[in-house]
């Protein structure tokens, strides 16, 4: 699965969640519950992608690889923010 495919899957899942929230009114968009629900959905899509890619036996390996990708992205974002603040 490519990064673009994963992002598309997450976007589709979040769109479905928004439709459900609109239909049920279970909570208001923009609240803490709304954002927590979005986080759970994003995690579920990522876990599903890992299982689809690596199989059940490879979930631990997949989670470790995903963790490394996220860590690298976080480091790049933090560096960008620090450089921006310092005027570089």
Confidence class of residue 66 from pLDDT cuts 50, 70 and 90?
Answer: confident
3-state secondary structure 12-53: HHHHHHHHHHHHHCCCCCCCHHHHHHHHHHHHHHHHHHHHHH
pLDDT recorded at residue 36: 93
C-alpha triplet 23, 24, 28: angle, nearest 5° = 100
Per DSSP, 55 falls in state: T
In the chain, % of residues over pLDDT 70: 98
Q: Tell me the pLDDT of the chain averaged across its residues.
A: 85
- Does pLDDT of 88 surpass 70? no
Looking at per-residue pLDDT, the higher value among 48 and 63 belongs to 48
9-25 pLDDT, tens per residue?
A: 999 999 999 999 999 99
Do 49 and 1 touch, CB atoms closer than 8 A?
A: yes
């Amino acid at each position: 699965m490519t990064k673009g495919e994963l992002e598309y899957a997450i976007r589709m899942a979040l769109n479905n969640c928004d439709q459900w929230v609109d239909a049920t009114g279970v909570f208001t968009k923009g609240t803490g519950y709304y954002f927590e629900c979005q986080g759970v959905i994003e995690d579920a899509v990522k876990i599903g992608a890992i299982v689809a890619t690596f199989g059940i036996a490879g979930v631990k390996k997949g989670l470790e690889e995903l963790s490394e990708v996220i860590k690298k992205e976080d480091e790049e974002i933090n560096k960008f923010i620090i450089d921006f603040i310092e005027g570089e």
